[in-house]
């Protein structure tokens, strides 16, 4: 018989080391969860307030439709995490259907992430077209384009989420998905590479327009909100998608697991930050109601009253002239 190498660790010792590492990772995850929990609660409340104001208090426009859907997507992500936190760290998995519940919450989290990504890209593209081609964009834009486009983006998000979850993500929670579904990984990478450059390019264009028209900042708040939201998404939410693609394609190490957990927490910060961006950009005076701040943040053009004695056709034409005039001022 061959002589046993005395330097090799005993199998029981290796098993104990793995168990200690798993317990240490779980302990770190628990600490991070408790740290991020107050932020997610604030984000949940603020996104709920955005939803209520845009639904009940503020008149619906082509851009508030996108902001409303973005708030719903962020609210979905934060709600899923908060429920996971409650069921995991407070109720201690006492529910009989906990397996199915966690699966549903994972789907909601991925679904909200994809929807936020698509909505932010859509509003960046549409605002960029409205800023650089105001006349052609205003007269050629379909009336219900925002609603139709948001519906299509929700459907697209459902498809992408279903494909990702039932292939790569479901395997990720049970075993190492080392190139087990290469077609799905390539599909997700193509979606990522298709939407991200478009969103970045439109945001850079809006930022350049803001810099050129610094005297019209009161009318460019929506530009600034979009640019800040995209920057926050690139800094806090995009690493989560990058780490997912990495662990779907390469073998997973302990470092990659840690980075994946950290990127998921950064994504939660991004979902909580958007309402505060609306507030900070829209705030004009020291003491203002939340309604006034949100209304100013989502307003796309200056408030110019339309004379009451005009007929319906003349009123619509007057509104069109006002809209075009404001965009031309920003363009000059």
pLDDT in tens, 20-68: 444 445 666 777 888 898 999 999 999 998 888 888 777 777 788 898 9
2 inside domain: no
Least confident of 69-73, 88-92, 155-159, 193-197: 88-92
Cα 181–chain centre separation? 25
For the chain, give the percent of residues with pLDDT over 90: 30
Residue located via tokens 């619906």: 60
141 inside domain: yes
The per-residue pLDDT for 291 is 62
Distance (Å) of CA 12 to CA 3, 23, 268? 19, 16, 39
15 inside domain: no
Tell whether the model's pLDDT for residue 307 goes beyond 60.
no
Token pair of 329 as six digits: 């001022």
Least confident of 9-18, 98-107, 208-217, 291-300: 9-18
Closest CA to 233 of 181, 269, 194: 269
Q: What pTM did the predictor assign? A: 0.78
Tell whether the model's pLDDT for residue 256 goes beyond 90.
no
Distance (Å) of CA 113 to CA 74, 76, 135, 249, 266? 7, 9, 34, 20, 12
154 inside domain: yes
The per-residue pLDDT for 167 is 87
Domain limits for position 70: 26-300
Collapsing DSSP states into helix, strand and coil, what is residue 120? helix
21 inside domain: no
Q: Cα–Cα distance between 243 and 237 in angstroms, integer?
A: 11
Digit-coded pLDDT (tens) for 257-302: 778 888 889 999 999 998 888 887 766 555 555 666 666 666 655 4
Domain count, the chain: 1
312 inside domain: no
Tell whether the model's pLDDT for residue 95 goes beyond 80.
no
94 inside domain: yes
The per-residue pLDDT for 113 is 95
Digit-coded pLDDT (tens) for 114-153: 999 999 999 999 888 888 887 887 788 888 888 999 999 9
CATH code of the domain covering residue 46: 1.20.1070.10
Closest CA to 192 of 267, 272, 121: 121
Question: How does the average pLDDT of the chain come out, rounded?
Answer: 75
């Amino acid at each position: 018989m061959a002589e046993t190498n005395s330097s090799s660790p005993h199998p029981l010792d290796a098993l104990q080391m793995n168990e200690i590492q798993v317990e240490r990772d779980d302990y770190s995850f628990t600490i991070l969860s408790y740290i991020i929990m107050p932020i997610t609660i604030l984000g949940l409340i603020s996104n709920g307030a955005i939803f209520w104001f845009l639904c009940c208090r503020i008149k619906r426009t082509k851009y508030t439709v996108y902001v409303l859907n973005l708030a719903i997507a962020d609210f979905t992500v934060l709600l899923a995490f908060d429920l996971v936190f409650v069921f995991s760290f407070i109720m201690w998995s006492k529910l009989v259907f906990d397996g199915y519940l966690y699966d549903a919450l994972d789907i909601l989290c991925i679904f909200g992430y994809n929807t936020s990504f698509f909505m932010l890209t859509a509003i960046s593209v549409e605002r960029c077209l409205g800023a650089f081609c105001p006349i052609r964009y205003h007269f050629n834009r379909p009336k219900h384009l925002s609603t139709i486009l948001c519906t299509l983006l929700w459907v697209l998000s459902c498809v992408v989420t279903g494909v990702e979850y039932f292939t790569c993500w479901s395997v990720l929670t049970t075993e190492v998905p080392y190139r087990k579904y290469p077609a799905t990984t390539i599909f997700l990478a193509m979606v990522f590479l298709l939407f991200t450059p478009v969103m970045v390019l439109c945001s850079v264009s809006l930022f350049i327009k803001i810099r050129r028209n610094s005297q019209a900042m009161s009318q460019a708040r929506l530009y600034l909100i979009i640019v800040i939201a995209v920057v926050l998404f690139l800094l806090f939410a995009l690493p989560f998608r990058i780490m997912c693609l990495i662990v779907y394609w390469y073998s997973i190490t302990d470092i990659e697991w840690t980075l994946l957990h950290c990127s998921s927490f950064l994504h939660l910060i991004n979902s909580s930050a958007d309402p505060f961006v609306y507030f900070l950009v829209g705030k004009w005076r020291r003491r203002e109601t939340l309604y006034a701040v949100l209304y100013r943040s989502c307003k796309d053009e200056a408030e110019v009253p339309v004379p009451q004695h005009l007929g319906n056709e003349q009123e619509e034409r007057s509104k069109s002239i006002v809209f075009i005039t404001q965009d031309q001022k920003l363009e000059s």
